[in-house]
Amino acid sequence: MLLHLQTWPEVETYLKRSTAIIVPIGSTEQHGPTGLIGTDAICGEAVGRKLGETTNTLVAPTIAVGMAQHHLAFPGSMTLRPSTLIAVVKDNVESLARHGFSHFYFVNGHGGNVAPFSAAFSEIYAEASLMRASNRPNVRCRLRNWYDSGRVKEISRELYAGAEGSHATPSEVSLTWAVYPEAVRRMKLEPEIAPRGSFTDAADYRRNFPDGRIGSNPNLASIEAGQRLWDAAVADLAKDLAEFVAEPA
């Protein structure tokens, strides 16, 4: 159930049985020499939408540009400043809370989003917390990284062990290939497994990770693995979502 494919009377009806909504979030940033710039948004959206189908939950439009300042030394990468992202999340949540939505489940495909979205949730809660008696509707937000679920972790350990890394991973690349089989692309990478390490701004990142990958060998990706990972993520998140929805707003 995609929000953008509903009419308003259908949403009105939906709200009588559920006040939960899934919001896929991702990023638009380099993913190594072979990975798609949209990898994180594609993954967040693919998992979030299938989760919506599986659990019969409404799915809001994907937030496709996230916080990715550290990737800006690679062409095509985009970022929102954290302060902008806070405003965006606040407006998204306030809009939907106005209609009675109370449970916001963000399915995330990008590590760099975790802190700013968490800060955004606190910014939203703070408006209620700072008032002794608030006239704002109660809302509850949760962010889950699709790639952090138990079964997903198991599969990537099984398949990629020391070559999974943390950026342009074979797992996320596999998932994008499952969604876009025409995107399959392998090339000689030097070194095969990219270096690991930390980073600060874009110049620092590119200095440390010259082709954009961190600790990964995306050549190990496969459509089949992508399909397994996709199903695993949805299954895990479906359980988590059910628990989340059971919590009071």
Q: Is 234 helix (H, G, I), strand (E, B) or coil?
A: helix
Over the Cα atoms of the chain, what is R_g? 19
SS3 labels along 169-230: CHHHHHHHHHHCHHHCCCCCCCCCCCCCCCCCCHHHHHHHCCCCCECCCHHHCCHHHHHHHH
Q: Minimum Å distance from CB 125 to a second copy?
A: 4
Q: Minimum Å distance from CB 38 to a second copy?
A: 2
Give the residue with the Cβ less far from a second copy, 205 or 230. Answer: 205
- By C-alpha distance, which of 40, 45, 43, 50 is closest to 1? 50
Q: Minimum Å distance from CB 235 to a second copy?
A: 22
Give the residue with the Cβ less far from a second copy, 15 or 235. Answer: 15
Give the residue with the Cβ less far from a second copy, 54 or 208. Answer: 208
Q: Minimum Å distance from CB 6 to a second copy?
A: 5
Q: Minimum Å distance from CB 201 to a second copy?
A: 4
Inter-helix orientation angle 150-160/223-246, to 10° = 160
Give the residue with the Cβ less far from a second copy, 55 or 113. Answer: 113
Give the residue with the Cβ less far from a second copy, 70 or 155. Answer: 70
Q: Minimum Å distance from CB 231 to a second copy?
A: 23
Q: Minimum Å distance from CB 158 to a second copy?
A: 27
Q: Is 126 helix (H, G, I), strand (E, B) or coil?
A: helix
Give the residue with the Cβ less far from a second copy, 56 or 129. Answer: 129
Give the residue with the Cβ less far from a second copy, 40 or 232. Answer: 40
Concatenating the DSSP letter of every residue in 15-68 gives HHH--EEEEEE-----BTTTB-TTHHHHHHHHHHHHHHHHHT-EEPPPB-----
CA-to-CA separations, 169 to 35, 100, 112, 238, in angstroms, rounded: 9, 38, 15, 24
